[in-house]
Amino acid sequence: MTNPLLEPSKLPFGLPPFAEIQDRHYAEAVDAGIAGHLAEIQSIVDNPEPASFENTAIAMERSGRLLERAAASFFTLVSAHASEAIQKLETELSPLFAAHQDAVYLNRELYERFAAIDTSGLDDESIRLVQEYLREFRQSGIQLDPDDREKLTSLNAELSRLGTEYGQRVKEAMKDAALVLDDAAALAGMPADEIASAAEAARTAGYEGKNLLTLIQPSNQPALASLENRELRRRLFEASVARGSDGSRLDVLELAKSMARLRAEKAALLGFGNYAELFMDRQTAPDFAAVQAMLNRLAPAAIRNTDAEAGALAQSAGHPLEAWDWAYYSAKVRRERYAVDEQLLRPYFELDGVLVDGVFFAATSLFGITFHERKDLEGYHPDVRFWEVRNEDGSELGLFLGDYYARDSKRGGAWMNSLVEQSALLGTKPVVVNNLNISKPPTGEPTLLTLDEVRTTFHEFGHALHGLFSNVTYPRFSGTSVPRDFVEYPSQVNEMWLMWPEIISNYARHYATGEPLPQEIVERLNESKLWGEGFATTEYLGAALLDLAWHVLDAEDVPQDAQDFEAKALAAAGVAHSLIPPRYRTGYFQHIFAGDFYAAGYYSYIWSEVLDAETVDWFTENGGLLRRNGERFRSELLSRGNSRDPLESFHALRGHDASLEPLLKRRGLY
């Protein structure tokens, strides 16, 4: 059989032909893709003509298409549907990708051609393309002497290997930490459909007749809010926070320490004081000090709010609180103070209703785009669904894939990724995927979401819109290819529509009766939105500051005892709280250790939220859900990708630089 990855896909929008791809095809395609890309680069280098924008920058943008196809489809499987064979391939292939990145950006002759390009007369996007290539060369170490370049290559290869192993162990540890329960009576307090999902999860995992409480990636587990059995809450909480740090074969603390040490060495080699400074050299944040100043301003107010919430919880509980009590009594206080029981809201949040009548309806109202389900297409798993997205005039915009259910082969959390990047140069339209981890109900039963899962659905679709609306020339700038501390901004803005009156009245309907969510409940939800912000901000800041603590270390200062280091780092940052662990602990902090995507960059969520809070104010001041607002947001920001400085795009939309005050008001942190 011919390897289907070796040629461009003939499916709509270039969707990878997953039904035809066998595991062995990936290694073959990656090998061929790397060899082909290196040959294309050598052709650029060997060109006897003087370096020009066309024969160097454009040639570079056109190169590597086979490798891009293979990598996009392969890493989609790594995250969303990784068999043992795919995991083994990940271990083998990840170092090859790291080595190839070095082979490209440590190529002195290629760098010199880019440095020789005359950019006079080029348009702004083309000038930026040359500048961004030169910046990546420099950040990758092109200025190093040959011995140091060799050392850097070795560091990158080892970091890639360790990150892959970390991610695989964490996924396995999350599965191993699930609680198997013989008697459904232990689940008293949980909604009936969640109990049914626990039984279905047990059956799928081979525990027929039992119940399985599976875990999600963050420390705080949703079931803690409803389980009446305090001992079971304790077991679930302790299983969650002990992942990756229990001394078992899945312990990852030694991996984390090794990665922190190697990153410190890499930063020093590249001339930076620490890895956090290296990361922030590529971001919209001006420097490490600015990020620290923001987090330090937020921390004391968050702890004050947390202590006030803890007092209310202890009064409601009537006994001293433990960490596993927080979510349960927080839900109880919300019911008592605001007459809001989030568990009773779930029948109004059925997945298809939220998606089609909420998320898609908001996008159509704001941008005029429409969604047309494609049941003729086949994905990497039967749960994957497809929608062709069209502009208001009926023209094709792109393809959206939704993969919403949890499974053993999928990593935890929620994310968006691209299978095909938009590019006018290449004539490609975007193909983007949203992944969530919602518990799958028994066949024929509705999928009912928590309010937090509704928020996540809107959030991830904000990323999808960023990819779908991309309207750039060069693939390097497409969609979400923006600085890490900017990428969360459009997705956070999209969360505003979940409670917008016209939107929630359209999607929040009882799955059985069709009755809308009563208006008085919507009003009480709005009244209660500041409740729990102390907890939410404190657990987030704990993770963000823990991330930075690991990445400001010198190589020789990496601690022997990772757990002791974690405790001291949280205390020193002023966010240690006996009842609130950080959102992610070192043993399961995939964002920063399963690769380097967010390493030293978990602060990005709240940095982006500063822009988000300003933008929500802009929408509100200008009438909210109006087509003219959507068109401005699309044209000035969502369509731009990284084709201009993202902060210029924000300024073009908002009219001024961002301030922290709207965020402080939103989170009740004055």
Residues acting as catalytic residues: 460
| DSSP string for 420-474 | E--BTTTTB--EEEEEEEEPPPPTTS--BPPHHHHHHHHHHHHHHHHHHT---SS
Which residues lie below 8 Å from residue 353, measured CB to CB, with a gap of 6+? 507, 508, 509, 511
Cα separation, 235 vs 224, whole angstroms: 10
- Single-letter code of the amino acid located at 149: R
Judge whether 511 and 347 are in contact, CB under 8 Å: yes
Q: Which two tokens stand for residue 558?
A: 């990496």
291: how many CB neighbours lie within 10 A of its CB?
24
Residue for token pair 């907890």? 535
Cα separation, 516 vs 348, whole angstroms: 8
Q: Which two tokens stand for residue 589?
A: 């902090």
Judge whether 602 and 258 are in contact, CB under 8 Å: no
Cα separation, 169 vs 164, whole angstroms: 9
- Single-letter code of the amino acid located at 521: I
Q: Among 403, 415, 373, which residue's Cα sits nearest to residue 390?
A: 373
Cα separation, 274 vs 255, whole angstroms: 19
The residues that bridge with 386 in the sheet, in sequence order, are 401
Q: Give the H/E segment covering residue 581.
A: none
Cα separation, 226 vs 362, whole angstroms: 31
Within its chain, how far is the Cα of 510 from the centroid? 30
Cα separation, 239 vs 237, whole angstroms: 5
